[in-house]
Amino acid sequence: MGRWAVAMSGGVDSAVAAAMLSAEGHEVIGITMNLWPDWLPSAEVSVKACCGVSAIEDARAVARRLGIRHYVLNLRGEFEHAVIGYFVQEYARGRTPNPCIACNQAIKFSLLLQKVSALGFDGVATGHYARLAYDEGSGRHLLLRGRDPRKDQSYVLSGLTQNQLARLRFPVGAYTKAAVRQLAREFELPVADKPDSQEICFVPGGSYSEVVGRFRPEALRSGPILDTHGRVLGTHHGIARYTVGQRRGLGVAAGEAMYVVAIDQERNAVVVGTDEDLLCGELSASQMNWIAFPELSAPREVTARIRHAALDVAAVVHPGRGPAEAVVRFAQPQRAASPGQAVALYDGERVLGGGIITQVHRLAARQA
């Protein structure tokens, strides 16, 4: 039997993960990370936020029910630097970040994993909906989709390294959400019917531009709204308030529906165009993390996902200029891909790897 630290968010998924490992006879402790920033009053942290005060209390109640030790780890400073800082910087650059991926890479599966390993534990278990496997032929640890396609979280885990995958457990990844809730009831866990967290933990009110403005007020400066030919159509209220694909709140009259197609930090401009202008045939990505193999040496047919909630689409991935770069060419044009987002690449159930979108090659721009 092993020794496992379970990252307990206060939700049902991590609670069941802890219960399952404990029932298997492992030595289990629960750790809840205290992440919410000092400048956000506790009263403003929604009960749905995964790192609020109520999350600690819920996780502690689950630990008492299971008879395991529970600890609170203060990682506020590290979280503000590595996750909130990244989030703010990306929006100020006119890009669309994914803070959950940043948190996974910098906090949960890096810093937390280092700390529990130093204490002699085998690794960290979480309530993520994904599965792990080991390929004897290649000697590589594999990441697989979660069994429940509606809850699959493999996209936000595509940055996991071989060293990290070797020391992780995802006990609920082979179950559907309904089955996990039923297990919670069977284990008599107090969070069995707790709603899922829906918000970015440090943006409980949903106004991410306020967070950006706190640290980078220049990202909320007004500037021009341009069409794809450079003509001024109106005035925006700060590039941090806009994302690629956005239609509402533009305040421009052009005789047809207009969408944000690009954000130009250098000109402090928001560029809008038609729905057709959002289509892209290929994208470039950097910070590629290959999971199923050490590096991409030749073009390969894959399916690609460019957002967590998006469907996979057929594509061919090509090696980029360096080992951490790649070019993804889609079989059918894709809508509203955005620099800063992640792209995850699949072969069936296997996650081949993932990276960060750096450039989007739009069809309309190429045709022009």
Catalytic sites, residue numbers: 103, 201
- Residue 313 φ/ψ, nearest 5 degrees: -135, 150
Three-state secondary-structure class, residue 319:
strand
Q: Report how far apart, in Å, the C-alpha atoms of 44 and of each of 99, 131, 179 are.
A: 19, 34, 32
The gap between the terminal CA atoms of the chain, to the nearest Å, is 63
Nearest Cα to Cα of residue 128 among 104, 97, 111, 107: 104
CA max distance for the chain:
67
Judge contact between 147 and 170, C-beta under 8 A.
Answer: no
Residue 218, Ramachandran bin (φ over 0: left; ψ between -120 and 50: alpha; else beta) = alpha
Three-state secondary-structure class, residue 219:
helix
**What are the b/e assignments for 25-58, b being 16+ CB within 10 Å?**
ebbbbbbbbebbbeebeeeebbebbbbbeebbeb
Three-state secondary-structure class, residue 234:
strand
Q: Long-range contacts made by residues 133-142, C-beta under 8 angstroms, separation at least 24? A: 135/292, 138/292, 138/293, 140/291, 140/292, 140/293, 141/165, 141/166, 141/291, 142/291, 142/292, 142/350, 142/351
Rounded Cα–Cα distance for residues 219 and 94 (Å): 9
Rounded Cα–Cα distance for residues 322 and 317 (Å): 14
Tokens of 227: 């069409």
